[in-house]
A and B are shown apart, each in its own frame.
Chain A
Amino acid sequence: MNGGVSGWYRSGAPWIWLVAGAVAVCLAMVFGLLLLLGARGMGHFWPKPVLQANYLAVDPPVIVIGEIADSATVDAGQLRFSAVGAQLDGGRVERQLLKLGNRDITGSDFAWILPALLDEVAYPQQLVTLERREWGNFYGFLSGIQQNGEAVAASSAPAAERTDALWPELQRRLNRARQLRGEIERIERSIIADIDFGAEDLRPREMRLLELNRQIQRDSAIFRIAGGAEVELPVADIVRAYRPNAMNRFEAMGTYLARLFEFLTDDPRESNTEGGLLPAIYGTAMMVLLMSVLVTPLGVVAAVYLSEYAPKGWLTRVIRISVNNLAGVPSIVYGMFGLGFFIYLAGGEIDRLFYSESLPAPTFGTPGLLWASLTLALLTLPVVIVATEEGLANIPASLREGSLALGATKFETLWRVVLPLARPSMLTGLILAVARAAGEVAPLMLVGVVKLAPALPLNTEFPYLHLEQQFMHLGYYVYDLATQSPNVEAAMPQAFAAAFLLVAVVAALNLSAVVMRGRLRERYKALDAGAWS
Chain B
Amino acid sequence: MNREYEVAGAAAAAAVEAPIEPSIEPAPCLEMRNLSLRYAKTRQALNKIRLTIPRQRVTALIGPSGCGKTSLLRCFNRLNDLVDDCVVTGRIRLEGKNIYSSKIDVTELRRRVGMVFQKPNPFPKSIYENVAFGLRIRGINSRRRLDETVQESLEAAALWDEVKDRLHRSALELSGGQQQRLVIARTLAVEPEVLLLDESASALDPISTLKIEELITGLKKNYTIVIVTHNLQQAARVSDYTAFMYMGNMVEFDTTARIFTNPVKRQTEDYITGRYG
Bound complex: CA A406 to CA B84 (Å): 20
**Which B residues are CB-close (under 8 A) to A406?**
110-111, 114, 133-134, 137, 186-187, 190
Do residues B172 and A396 form an inter-chain contact, with CB atoms below 8 A? Answer: no
**Which B residues are CB-close (under 8 A) to A408?**
107, 133-134, 137
Is A403 among interface residues, defined by CB-CB distance under 8 A? Answer: yes
Bound complex: CA A399 to CA B133 (Å): 13
Is B90 among interface residues, defined by CB-CB distance under 8 A? Answer: no
User: Which range contains the number of B residues in contact with the other chain?
Assistant: 20 to 34
Is A234 among interface residues, defined by CB-CB distance under 8 A? Answer: no
Do residues B84 and A532 form an inter-chain contact, with CB atoms below 8 A? Answer: no
Bound complex: CA A416 to CA B139 (Å): 13
Do residues A416 and B137 form an inter-chain contact, with CB atoms below 8 A? Answer: yes
Question: When each residue 49-84 of chain A gets 1 if its CB lies under 8 Å from chain B and 0 otherwise, what string results?
Answer: 000000000000000000000000000000000000
Do residues A405 and B77 form an inter-chain contact, with CB atoms below 8 A? Answer: yes
Do residues A404 and B172 form an inter-chain contact, with CB atoms below 8 A? Answer: no
Is A420 among interface residues, defined by CB-CB distance under 8 A? Answer: yes
Do residues B124 and A405 form an inter-chain contact, with CB atoms below 8 A? Answer: no
Is B209 among interface residues, defined by CB-CB distance under 8 A? Answer: no
Do residues B123 and A407 form an inter-chain contact, with CB atoms below 8 A? Answer: no
Bound complex: CA A525 to CA B84 (Å): 31
Is A417 among interface residues, defined by CB-CB distance under 8 A? Answer: yes
User: Which range contains the number of A residues in contact with the other chain?
Assistant: 20 to 34
Is A402 among interface residues, defined by CB-CB distance under 8 A? Answer: yes
**Which B residues are CB-close (under 8 A) to A203?**
none
Do residues A407 and B119 form an inter-chain contact, with CB atoms below 8 A? Answer: no
Question: When each residue 166-177 of chain B gets 1 if its CB lies under 8 Å from chain A and 0 otherwise, what string results?
Answer: 000010110010
Is B141 among interface residues, defined by CB-CB distance under 8 A? Answer: no
Do residues A401 and B110 form an inter-chain contact, with CB atoms below 8 A? Answer: no
Chain B nearest CB, measured from A477 CB (Å): 44
* Contact status of A531 and B176, CB under 8 A, knowing A405-B77, A405-B114: yes
Is A398 among interface residues, defined by CB-CB distance under 8 A? Answer: yes
Chain A nearest CB, measured from B141 CB (Å): 13
Chain B nearest CB, measured from A437 CB (Å): 31
Chain B 113-136 interface residues, beta-carbon cutoff 8 Å to A: 114-115, 117, 119-124, 133-134, 136
Instruction: Look across to chain B and name the residue whose beta carbon is closest to the beta carbon of A399.
Output: B121
Bound complex: CA A532 to CA B111 (Å): 24
Chain B 132-152 interface residues, beta-carbon cutoff 8 Å to A: 133-134, 136-138
* Contact status of A407 and B170, CB under 8 A, knowing A402-B121, A402-B123: no
* Contact status of A403 and B117, CB under 8 A, knowing A312-B84, A527-B124, A531-B176: no
Is A16 among interface residues, defined by CB-CB distance under 8 A? Answer: no
**Which A residues are CB-close (under 8 A) to B190?**
406-407
Bound complex: CA A409 to CA B108 (Å): 10
Do residues A526 and B173 form an inter-chain contact, with CB atoms below 8 A? Answer: yes
Is A523 among interface residues, defined by CB-CB distance under 8 A? Answer: yes
Do residues B137 and A407 form an inter-chain contact, with CB atoms below 8 A? Answer: yes
Q: Which of B79, B138, B203 contacts A405 (CB 8 A)?
A: B79
**Which B residues are CB-close (under 8 A) to A396?**
121
Question: When each residue 342-359 of chain A gets 1 if its CB lies under 8 Å from chain B and 0 otherwise, what string results?
Answer: 000000000000000000
Is B82 among interface residues, defined by CB-CB distance under 8 A? Answer: yes
Bound complex: CA A396 to CA B118 (Å): 14
Is B183 among interface residues, defined by CB-CB distance under 8 A? Answer: yes
Q: Which of B117, B134, B173 contacts A407 (CB 8 A)?
A: B134
* Contact status of A402 and B172, CB under 8 A, knowing A396-B121, A412-B137: no
Bound complex: CA A531 to CA B172 (Å): 11
Bound complex: CA A399 to CA B114 (Å): 15
**Which B residues are CB-close (under 8 A) to A405?**
77, 79, 110, 114-115, 117, 187
Is A261 among interface residues, defined by CB-CB distance under 8 A? Answer: no
Which of B108, B122, B136, B137 has the most chain A CB within a 10 Å cutoff? B137
Instruction: Look across to chain A and name the residue whose beta carbon is closest to the beta carbon of B109.
Output: A407
Chain A nearest CB, measured from B127 CB (Å): 13
Q: Which of A399, A401, A409, A417 contacts B107 (CB 8 A)?
A: A409
Known: A402-B123, A532-B119. 5 other contacts (CB 8 A): A401-B82, A404-B82, A405-B187, A406-B133, A420-B124
Report the 8 A-B pairs with minimum CB-CB distance, sorted nearest first. A407-B111, A526-B172, A532-B119, A405-B115, A402-B121, A398-B121, A406-B134, A407-B110
Q: List 5 A-B contacts (CB under 8 A).
A: A402-B121, A408-B137, A525-B172, A531-B119, A531-B176
